[in-house]
Amino acid sequence: VEIVVHSKGGNKTSDIPYGLMHEDINNAGDGGIYAELIRNRAFRGSSRYPVSLAYWASINGAALSLKNLSTPLSSALPSSMNVAVNSTKSKSIGFANAGFWGMDVRKQKYTGSFYVRGSYEGFFTASLQSAITNNTLGSVKIESKSKKDEWVQHEFNLIPTKDATNSNNTFAITFDAAGVKEGSLDFNLISLFPPTYKNRENGLRPDIAEAFAALNPKFLRFPGGNALEGPDLANPWKWNETIGPLKDRPGRPGVWGYQTSDGLGLVEYLNWCDDMELEPILAIWSGLALDGAYINETDLGPWVEDALNEIEFVRGDSSTPYGKLRASLGYPEPWKLKYVEVGNEDWLAGAPSGYQSYMDYRFNAFNTAIKEKYPDIQVIASPSVFDNMTIPAPAAGDYHPYRQPNDYYAEFHKFDHLTSDNLTLVGEFASVHPNGGIDWAGGLHPFPWWIGGVGEAIFMISTERNGDRIIGSTYAPILRNMNRWQWSACMIEFEADVKKTTLSTSYHVFKLISTNPITRNLPTTPGTNTSSLFFVAGRSEDGKGVFKIANYNTTDHEPVPVSLRFEGLEKGAKAELTLLTSSDGPFGYNDPAKGNNVVVMTTKTLSLSGNGTFEFEMPELSVAVLETGAG
Ligand code: AHR
């Protein structure tokens, strides 16, 4: 196949072509990228997930019980754990936490704290130990500052003396029973963090964050997904309950089968944006819950007001009431906020009446109020024009194609007809169903798989070809804790043990495409795909030619030769070709249980042929990026 990339024409593409979308699904937040190691650290529950002492165990017979004291640590955290000295009066008593399916323990600095109420004279010992051998991996003594009727915070650093051989470890706090004056002590908000990404307090797990940063993401869409909507009208994601000291965060019943702490709250998401230089795409609640209930038009006003307050908290200067609140939390400088999305998938939950209410009044109420106060904000509706919604420009839409790989192939031209009045974010996409399967009537694919990734590459190429109208795209969900998950096809699988973090086939495809950005796309001849080759061409910020191509199913299964000419390229020019294929065929996948990687990456420096072309071959089911200017 001969392809010419013309040197003139084309369009400037979006500045944020690829990004990340985060929600607490699959323990992606608590027990995931949020680096807290202690599970059930604050004994919070809800109507859906009762308060309990789960994940806590007594040491040396200490009697553990839940208490709702008349003087709780805070109104947000009303329950606490009472630790009573038992009759045998063992010298050292206490409690241990099993973490989120274990804890990664290495010779590095852990930062911890806990609140205690009650009189105790002596030292507390905080330690990390193997759950199998009980061997201590590291410990520290903390002098008690505790007082009879007061909650007193104790902070400590703990550096283990050795790396644990696996993540089957626990964290314990013990103390001398003899020093306890009134028979028991109360504990709450017991927290332990390993070093975090960019050393943020209350920050992100570094190995996962680094894997995301390596994708060259440009935006972060948060806090969901369905997690934004909440399970019912009483429990949407409430931004103002996710800010400030951890003791003032009540957490909430998540929509994915567990209580969430909201330790990863609005400010932490914005810090994440700062640390990876991402544009926040802030999703505000649009008055629709996942059970399909929605707010009536007459009752919507306070929620619109609340969204404006949230936006003011993020980007208002500190003379504004909510900017002042932000400043009081230690963030005097406003964040940049250019993108606000109204809701999540409002076409889905509660359809048809929930969706009708969105089109009738919910979207307009938020859109009008936001544009009036912040004309520069790009408002995004949670459905797209592909979801049967007419979106009033300049508002954009959000499209979520979870598909069979063949669908991406068949829908390659889907975006070609978008006009500049149809700006579209792809806030979630992924191959999730096998070709020829029964889509949502069947399960999700157990892991991202190679042909799924090639389908995604075709999809990504289709967005880049329309990069002046597609705001950006993100795979979703991006994380799956292998110990508890609801959604199987995710970009990265992980466990407590950082050695088990697995980058899926889709991760590798996404990375190749997202780390070679095109800032202006260029016309090609042929102008569109051939039967199996899908491609986009353009220029990078520094003027290099960039060509991205995927080869899907060929009829003869033979590699397709490509002769690629960049108009205007001088004799002697070179190009770097990076090609991805699978060592395990179309159904190959990276299995966290095996720690394998079926994605084969080949790089080659190509020289211009006598005909002024770069010559290479695209095997069946392959993805490649070529960049001129190598060598
Ligand atoms: O990404 C998983 C879920 O898929 C999201 O929560 C929701 O927006 C979509 O339906």
In this predicted model, what pLDDT tens digit does every residue of 393-420 receive, in sequence order? 999 999 999 999 999 999 999 999 999 9
pLDDT tens digits for range 126-141? 999 999 999 999 999 9
Q: How many CA atoms lie within 13 A of 25 on its CB side?
A: 25
pLDDT at 555: 83
Query: What value does the mean pLDDT of the chain take?
Result: 97
Closest residue by Cα to residue 176 from 102, 239, 93: 93
pLDDT tens digits for range 533-581? 999 999 999 999 999 999 998 788 999 999 999 999 999 999 999 999 9
Residue 88 pLDDT grade (very low, low, confident, very high; cuts 50, 70, 90): low
pLDDT tens digits for range 241-289? 999 999 999 999 999 999 999 999 999 999 999 999 999 999 999 999 9
Inter-CA distances, 185 with 141, 144, 152, 180, 506, Å: 17, 12, 11, 7, 50
User: Cα separation of 449 and 446, whole Å?
Assistant: 9
226: CA distance to ligand 1 center in Å?
A: 6
Q: How many CA atoms lie within 13 A of 229 on its CB side?
A: 25
Inter-CA distances, 388 with 230, 289, 346, 580, Å: 24, 20, 11, 36
Smallest CA separation from ligand 1 atom 2, residue: 477
**Long-range contacts: 312-315, Cβ < 8 Å, 24+?**
313/239, 313/240, 313/243, 313/266, 314/266, 314/270, 314/280, 314/282, 315/374
Kindly state the helix (H) or strand (E) to which residue 213 belongs, with its residue range. Answer: helix 206-213
Inter-CA distances, 323 with 238, 320, 452, 622, Å: 17, 5, 44, 49
Q: Is the pTM of this model over 0.90?
A: yes
**79 or 528, higher pLDDT:** 79
Q: How many CA atoms lie within 13 A of 490 on its CB side?
A: 26
pLDDT tens digits for range 471-500? 999 999 999 999 999 999 999 999 999 999
Count of Cβ atoms closer than 10 Å to residue 499 Cβ: 10
Residue 464 pLDDT grade (very low, low, confident, very high; cuts 50, 70, 90): very high
- Taking the CA of residue 487 as reference, the ligand 1 atom at the shortest distance is 2
User: Cα separation of 126 and 248, whole Å?
Assistant: 24
pLDDT at 529: 85
Smallest CA separation from ligand 1 atom 1, residue: 477
Ligand 1: residue of 382, 428, 439, 492 to mutate (most ligand atoms within 8 A of CB) is 428
Q: Coil, strand, or helix at residue 428?
A: strand
Question: Over 50: is that where the pLDDT of 231 sits?
Answer: yes
391: CA distance to ligand 1 center in Å?
A: 21
Count of Cβ atoms closer than 10 Å to residue 330 Cβ: 9
- Taking the CA of residue 224 as reference, the ligand 1 atom at the shortest distance is 6
Smallest CA separation from ligand 1 atom 4, residue: 225
CA geometry: angle 425, 399, 493, nearest 5 deg = 90
38: CA distance to ligand 1 center in Å?
A: 27
pLDDT at 531: 84
pLDDT at 631: 47
pLDDT at 13: 98
How much of the chain exceeds pLDDT 90, in percent? 96
Question: Over 90: is that where the pLDDT of 29 sits?
Answer: yes
Residue type, 40: N
Question: Over 80: is that where the pLDDT of 48 sits?
Answer: yes
Q: Coil, strand, or helix at residue 4?
A: strand
Q: Is 487 in the pocket of ligand 1 (CB under 6 A)?
A: yes
User: Cα separation of 125 and 334, whole Å?
Assistant: 41
Domains of the chain and CATH, by start: 2-13+520-628 (2.60.40.1180), 56-193 (2.60.120.260), 222-398 (3.20.20.80)
pLDDT at 630: 61
Ligand 1: residue of 290, 344, 380, 431 to mutate (most ligand atoms within 8 A of CB) is 344
Give the ipTM of the model, two decimals please.
0.99
Question: Over 80: is that where the pLDDT of 87 sits?
Answer: no
User: Cα separation of 452 and 448, whole Å?
Assistant: 6
User: Cα separation of 313 and 267, whole Å?
Assistant: 10
Least confident range of 76-90, 467-481, 576-590: 76-90
Q: Is 226 in the pocket of ligand 1 (CB under 6 A)?
A: yes
Kindly state the helix (H) or strand (E) to which residue 209 belongs, with its residue range. Answer: helix 206-213
